[in-house]
């Protein structure tokens, strides 16, 4: 019996936003109809870029009511995760490659009062998360090599998404699959058809000439159409 399709969620990355007006930018994203906001947390070591500390996120928290998720592209998630929960991130995404003790680290997220998710870089096999699927509500399959926005979508990740969806279904687990990197009007259908239901977009939202609201609605419609076509 095929599982019912999971609700499509659009999660913008604020990486391309105007960093001098992040509170306003979060409000604009909420007004545009996004489901949550993803903060790309980068420490300059796990990835060659440096972005948001917890205080920046905490400053934006009161401006919107939609959930925040922290995509922890950091070498020491164990020492930082509590700060991001305190800053107002409900969901923390830990990279499988960033810690020797992934099972323990995901448990620490729950102990800190957050909800846990795990991320996979393009080269990391889904087997790396096989034994922690019971600890997470989402798996993020990176569709670019992390560190920067505006990169090209890696379409060879689609079979990986499909295999992960099968692994989750076989275990009867309630776990979302998120994709992040190069998601836009020309790529979102392939990712959704493969089994991703949470779609992170950055550049594609901000480069839509008709604005954020149109961009969010267009991406959501394209993903939903792809899923219903696949189910037909
Ligand atoms: C990479 C970042 C980006 C960002 C979205 O580390 O995680 O994937 O969120 O970037 P684009 O502009 O490709 O949507």
Cβ(82)–Cβ(70) below 8 Å: no
The model's pLDDT over 74-112, given as tens digits with 9 standing for 90+, comes to 999 999 999 999 999 999 999 999 999 999 999 999 999
What is the Å distance from ligand 1's center to 102 Cα? 23
Beta strands 176-180 and 198-201: pairing type? parallel
- What is the per-residue pLDDT for 231? 81
Q: What is the average pLDDT value for the chain, to the nearest integer?
A: 97
Enumerate domains of the chain plus CATH numbers. 9-231 (3.20.20.70)
Which of the listed residues 71, 202, 205 should we mutate to test ligand 1's pocket, taking the one with most ligand atoms within 8 A of CB? Answer: 202
Tell me which of 34-38, 209-213, 228-232 is least confident: 228-232
Separation CA 188–CA 181 (nearest Å): 10
What is the Å distance from ligand 1's center to 201 Cα? 7
- The residue whose C-alpha atom lies closest to atom 6 belonging to ligand 1 is 146
Separation CA 38–CA 53 (nearest Å): 13
What is the Å distance from ligand 1's center to 16 Cα? 9
Active site residues: 40, 180
Cβ(45)–Cβ(75) below 8 Å: yes
Nearest Cα to 144, choosing from 181, 179, 178? 181
What is the Å distance from ligand 1's center to 38 Cα? 10
Task: Count CB neighbours of 179 within 10 A.
Answer: 32
Residue 62's pLDDT band, with cuts at 50, 70 and 90, is very high
The structure tokens listed for 113 are 């009062």
Which of the listed residues 10, 11, 13, 188 should we mutate to test ligand 1's pocket, taking the one with most ligand atoms within 8 A of CB? Answer: 13
Say yes or no: CB of residue 150 within 6 Å of ligand 1: yes
The model's pLDDT over 126-160, given as tens digits with 9 standing for 90+, comes to 999 999 999 999 999 999 999 999 999 999 999 99
- The residue whose C-alpha atom lies closest to atom 10 belonging to ligand 1 is 149
Say yes or no: CB of residue 119 within 6 Å of ligand 1: no
Return the ligand 1 atom nearest residue 16 CA.
12
Residue 71, H or E segment: strand 68-73
The 9-12 sheet, strands edge to edge: 9-12, 198-201, 176-180, 138-142, 115-120, 91-95, 68-73, 37-42
Say yes or no: CB of residue 183 within 6 Å of ligand 1: yes
The model's pLDDT over 182-213, given as tens digits with 9 standing for 90+, comes to 999 999 999 999 999 999 999 999 999 999 99
Say yes or no: CB of residue 149 within 6 Å of ligand 1: yes
What is the Å distance from ligand 1's center to 232 Cα? 31
Return the ligand 1 atom nearest residue 203 CA.
12
């Amino acid at each position: 019996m095929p599982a019912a399709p999971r609700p499509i969620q659009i999660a913008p990355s604020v990486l391309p936003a105007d960093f001098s007006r992040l509170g306003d930018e979060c409000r604009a994203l909420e007004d545009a109809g996004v489901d949550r906001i993803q903060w790309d947390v980068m420490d300059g070591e796990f990835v060659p870029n440096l972005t948001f500390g917890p205080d920046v996120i905490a400053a934006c928290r009161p401006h919107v009511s939609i959930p925040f998720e922290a995509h922890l592209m950091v070498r020491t998630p164990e020492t930082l995760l509590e700060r991001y929960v305190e800053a107002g991130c409900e969901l923390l995404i830990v990279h499988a490659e960033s810690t020797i003790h992934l099972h323990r680290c995901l448990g620490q997220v729950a102990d800190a009062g957050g909800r846990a998710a795990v991320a996979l870089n393009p080269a990391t096999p889904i087997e790396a998360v096989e034994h922690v699927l019971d600890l997470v509500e989402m798996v993020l399959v990176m569709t670019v090599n992390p560190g920067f926005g505006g990169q090209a979508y890696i379409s060879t990740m689609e079979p990986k998404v499909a295999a992960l969806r099968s692994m989750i279904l076989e275990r009867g687990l309630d776990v979302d699959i998120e994709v992040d990197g190069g998601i836009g009007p020309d790529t979102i259908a392939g990712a959704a058809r493969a089994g991703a239901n949470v779609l992170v977009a950055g550049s594609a939202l901000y480069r839509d000439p008709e604005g954020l609201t149109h961009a969010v609605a267009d991406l959501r419609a394209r993903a939903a159409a792809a899923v219903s076509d696949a189910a037909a």
